[in-house]
């Protein structure tokens, strides 16, 4: 005769429902993001929906056809005799990718790695096994709702193709990953 033992202390005291609810919301958000990215890749105008990320203190927009998987920062194995912005190598679902601190690459402060940091892998279509360390992912942004701005400065980076101003007066810069992978400085990671 087995008797079920009831838990005399409610789960809420231990925070289990809150943690489970957060995981559920995170899974739902990730699923919605994947669905939207797939919809864009299947033919919707990619100039409208962009992935918004924070790199250092700057807001960037990534074309969904150039952005691959978004993952939490895991183990990054350092590679000796490389630039300080080249963080090393990481295994993402069996694929070895190089991880670049893009803020540091641009000459800004090193990006701290915390719970909001993510690695945005380059899409397989770019044929470049790399990913950018971003401060955080800000979700999808509709550039049709933003005002186009003049170029930041003459002689700026070729991969920063366009700037926008959103309704909250925040500046967003378009980051063209296909041009980043052609930049000689980006390709030269050795000292």
CATH number at residue 144: 2.40.50.180
In a domain, 136, yes or no: yes
Tell me the average pLDDT of the chain.
82
Indicate if 40 and 50 belong to the same structural domain: no
Inter-residue contact 47 to 64 (CB < 8 Å): no
Indicate if 97 and 22 belong to the same structural domain: no
The SS3 call for residue 40 is helix
Mean pLDDT over 97-103 rounds to: 94
Indicate if 96 and 175 belong to the same structural domain: yes
pLDDT (0 to 100) of residue 17: 55
In order of 44, 54, 141, the CA distances from 144 in angstroms are 13, 20, 9
pLDDT (0 to 100) of residue 151: 65
Mean pLDDT over 78-96 rounds to: 92
pLDDT (0 to 100) of residue 14: 47
Indicate if 18 and 64 belong to the same structural domain: no
Indicate if 119 and 29 belong to the same structural domain: no
Is pLDDT above 70 for 47?
no
Is pLDDT above 80 for 34?
no
- The residue behind tokens 């993001």 is 33
13 band by pLDDT with thresholds 50, 70 and 90:
very low
Indicate if 88 and 147 belong to the same structural domain: yes
- Give the domain extent around 29: 12-44
Is pLDDT above 50 for 181?
yes
Cα-based angle 128, 133, 136 (whole degrees, multiple of 5): 130
Indicate if 39 and 123 belong to the same structural domain: no
Alpha carbon distance 121, 97 (integer Å)? 8
Indicate if 30 and 88 belong to the same structural domain: no
Indicate if 36 and 90 belong to the same structural domain: no
49 band by pLDDT with thresholds 50, 70 and 90:
confident
Number of domains composing the chain: 2
Indicate if 35 and 55 belong to the same structural domain: no
Indicate if 105 and 126 belong to the same structural domain: yes
Indicate if 54 and 64 belong to the same structural domain: yes
For residue 3, what is the DSSP state? -
């Amino acid at each position: 005769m087995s008797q079920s033992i009831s838990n005399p202390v409610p789960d809420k005291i231990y925070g289990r429902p809150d943690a489970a609810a957060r995981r559920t919301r995170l899974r739902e958000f990730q699923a919605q993001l994947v669905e939207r990215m797939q919809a864009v890749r299947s033919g919707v105008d990619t100039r409208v929906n962009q992935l918004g990320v924070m790199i250092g203190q700057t807001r960037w927009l990534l074309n969904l056809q150039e952005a691959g998987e978004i993952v939490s920062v895991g183990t990054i194995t350092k590679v000796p005799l490389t630039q300080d912005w080249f963080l090393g190598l990481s295994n993402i679902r069996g694929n070895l990718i190089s991880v670049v601190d893009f803020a540091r690459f641009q000459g800004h402060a090193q990006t701290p790695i915390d719970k909001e940091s993510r690695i945005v892998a380059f899409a397989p279509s770019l044929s470049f096994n790399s990913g950018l360390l971003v401060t955080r992912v800000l979700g999808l942004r509709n550039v049709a709702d933003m005002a186009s701005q003049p170029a930041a400065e003459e002689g700026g980076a070729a991969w920063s193709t366009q700037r926008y101003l959103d309704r909250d007066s925040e500046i967003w810069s378009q980051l063209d990953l296909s041009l980043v992978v052609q930049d000689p400085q980006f390709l030269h990671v050795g000292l």
